[in-house]
Amino acid sequence: MYSGDIASVLITEQDIQDKTAELAKLVAADYPEGGEEDLILVGVLKGAVMFMTDLARALPVPSQLEFMAVSSYGSATTSSGVVRILKDLDRDITGRHVLIVEDIVDSGLTLSWLMRNLATRNPASLAVCSLLRKPDAVKVDVPVAYVGFDIPNEFVVGYGLDYGERYRDLPYIATLAPHVYEG
C-alpha cells in the first residue's frame, strides 16, 4: 500500500498500541470510575480519530466520545492559529471532566485556541492527551498532560495524520518520500 511513498517508519503499529495502553493507565488513574459522570473525550477531527478510538478502548474507565472539527487557516503543512469551527460539540460540557484528544501538537496554536474556547464553557476540568508532540510546541504555553511521543520536527503521516487527505489509513507513523511533495 502506498508503495514507494513512505520514506521511513517513525513509530510502528506495536509502539503505538503499547504507548496507548500506557497512556490509558495514566488517564484512568486521574479519572477514576465512580465519579458522578463519565469522562468526555473530545476528539479533534479528522486526525485524532484513530488514536481516540484506540485510547477509548484501552481505557479501563468509561468514557463518552464527542467530536469537533476545526480548520486552521494555513498551508497543508503549517497552521496559522486562526481557527474556525467546522463542527462544534453536540452537547453541553458544563460541569463535566473533558479530555481533548489530539493527534499531534506542532506549533500548539490550534490547541491553544481550542483550550480557550472550551474553557469558556465551564467544564469541571479540561486537559489534553496528544499522541505526538513536536519541539516547537513547547514554545506555546499549552499544557499537554499526556504525551505519547516527542518527535523531531519533520512532517509525518499515518494513523490519522494526512497529506492531502491521504495516508490517514496507515496503521503506523511515517515520513514521506520527497517525490510525494514534488507531486
CA 140: distance to chain centroid? 16
Distances (CA, A) of 62 to 32, 35, 103, 116: 9, 10, 21, 26
The backbone torsions φ and ψ at residue 83, rounded to the nearest 5 degrees and listed phi first, read -115, 145
Q: Does 155 bind Mg ion (CB under 5 A)?
A: no
**Could you say which of 38, 54, 106, 136 is catalytic?**
106
The span of 7-15, 66-74, 135-143, 155-163 binding Mg ion (CB under 5 A) equals 155-163
Euclidean distance between the first and the last CA atom of the chain, given in angstroms as a whole number: 18
Cβ at position 163, least distance to Mg ion in Å: 7
- Restricting to residues 11-50, which ones interact with ligand 5GP according to CB under 6 A? 47
**Interactions with Mg ion, residue window 49-68 (CB under 5 A):** none
Tell which one of 10, 31, 106, 170 touches ligand 5GP (CB under 6 A): 106
CA dist., res. 33 & res. 155, Å (int): 37
Distance of alpha carbon 183 from alpha carbon 167, whole angstroms:
15
When binding is defined by CB under 5 A, the residue of 10, 39, 44, 52 that contacts Mg ion is 44
Nearest in space to 89 (alpha carbons), one of 121, 112, 130: 121
* Partner from Mg ion, ligand 5GP, none contacting 70, C-beta within 5 to 8 A by type: none
CB of 48 to Mg ion, least distance (A): 5
Q: How far is the CB of 10 from ligand 5GP (least distance, A)?
A: 10
Residues 75-114 close enough to bind Mg ion by CB under 5 A? 102-103
The helix (H) or strand (E) run that includes residue 176 is strand 173-176
Residue 21's Cα: distance from chain center in Å? 16
Beta-sheet pairing, 173-176 with 6-11: antiparallel
Catalytic residue check, 88: no
Nearest Cα neighbor of 134 from 100, 167, 102 is 102
Told to check if 100 binds ligand 5GP by CB under 6 A, we report: no
In the complex, the smallest distance separating the C-beta of residue 37 from ligand 5GP, rounded to whole angstroms, is 27
Contact positions vs Mg ion (CB under 5 A): 44, 47, 102-103, 162
Catalytic residues: 106
